[in-house]
Structure 1
Amino acid sequence: MRISAAQRTENENRIRAAMDRLLRGEIPSGGKCDIKTLASESAVDRTAFYGTRPYTHLRVEFERRLNAMREADEIPDPREAQITRLKAEITKLKERLTQSEQTVDELTDFRSQALSRLAAQHEEIVHLRESVICANHVTRLPPPRTVTIGSCS
């Protein structure tokens, strides 16, 4: 079914008005800042925005404006902004978790090394004590001779 030029102009005006509302962040409940919501808000069939249909240029304009807003970090859809924020937070938390796990691993290794060294030192002390006990004969060295300066004998 063909539409008249007046109907097409009226539809384009409704689409542009809906586009402006969506890009300002006036998202209806249950909707998003996307073509599907644009079509339902402007009461135009969604297929009219694709291929060689009459409102393809408006879809391209909407997507261009939406991408420009995203690049400028102005996200009109509050849910999308929240999703973006939460994804960034999740990334930070994953990095912190990885760092914490690495620290725990390093401290566990340090603890194991310290315990091994303590055990080796203990074994050496026990061995030295046993060797002193087993050796009944300890030879004492004579005390050092004192030499007086200036006397020749």
Structure 2
Amino acid sequence: MRISAAQRTENENRIRAAMDRLLRGEIPPGGKCDIKTLASEAAVDRTAFYGTRPYTHLRTEFERRVQALQDAGEIPDPREAQITRLKAEITKLRERLAQSEQTVEELTDFRGQALARLAAQHEEIVHLRAVAAGTGTVTHLPNSRTVVIGSCS
């Protein structure tokens, strides 16, 4: 079915208005910032955006504008922005988890080394006590009393 020039102009105006809304982030519930939602919002058949159909140039313009926003770091679709943010957060959390696991491993190794050193020191102390108790060369001093030797004249 052919449409008149006035209908075509009216459709293009609706498409451009819907395009502007989507690019501002006004995404309808259940929609995305894509051609399907654009066609639905503009009340135009989606197939009119493909091939040699009348609104192919508008699809190209829409895709170019979406890409330009994404290149500038802006994502008009809030769901896409949330997905991007969550992916970045997951990456950071994985890095933190790997760092935490490495720290736990290092501390576990340190604890093992510390316990081995303490055990070796304990064995040395026990050995030295046994050696000291087994020899009679250790002289015990008498209790300390004040003894004055000599006098001052």
TM-score normalised by the shorter chain: which range applies?
A: 0.7 to 0.9
Deviation at 1:78, TM superposition (A): 2.3
State whether structure 2 residue 70 is matched by structure 1 residue 70.
Answer: yes
Query: Which residue is 1:55 aligned to?
Result: 55
1:34-71: per-residue Cα shift (whole Å, max 9, x none)? 11110100111212222333222211111110111122
Q: Secondary structure at the match of 1:12?
A: helix
The CA distance in 1 between the partners of 2:126 and 2:47, in whole Å, is 88
Q: Percent same amino acid among aligned pairs?
A: 84
RMSD between aligned alpha carbons? 2.3
Secondary structure (helix, strand or coil) at the match of 1:32 reads coil
Secondary structure of 2:74's aligned partner: coil
The alignment status of 1:98 with 2:98, answered yes or no, reads yes
**Structure 1 gaps, min length 5:** 139-153
Q: Count the aligned residue pairs.
A: 139
Question: How much does 1:137 deviate?
Answer: 6.7
State the alpha-carbon separation in 2 of the partners of residues 127 and 52 from structure 1. 96
Q: Residues 86-127 of structure 1: CA distance to partner in whole angstroms, max 9, x if unpaired?
A: 222222222222212211111111111111111122223223
Paired residue type of 2:47: T
Task: State the partner residue of 1:119.
Answer: 119
Structure 2: stretches of 5+ with no match in the other structure:
138-153
Aligned residue type for 1:13: N
Matched, 1:85 2:85: yes
CA drift at 1:83: 2.4
- For 1:7, the equivalent position in structure 2 comes to 7
What is the rounded CA distance, in whole Å, between the counterparts of 1:117 and 1:82 in structure 2?
A: 52
- Whichever residue aligns with residue 38 of structure 1, its letter is L
Which range moves more in the overlay, 106-115 or 6-15? 6-15
1:75 aligned partner, one-letter code:
I
Corresponding position of 1:146: none
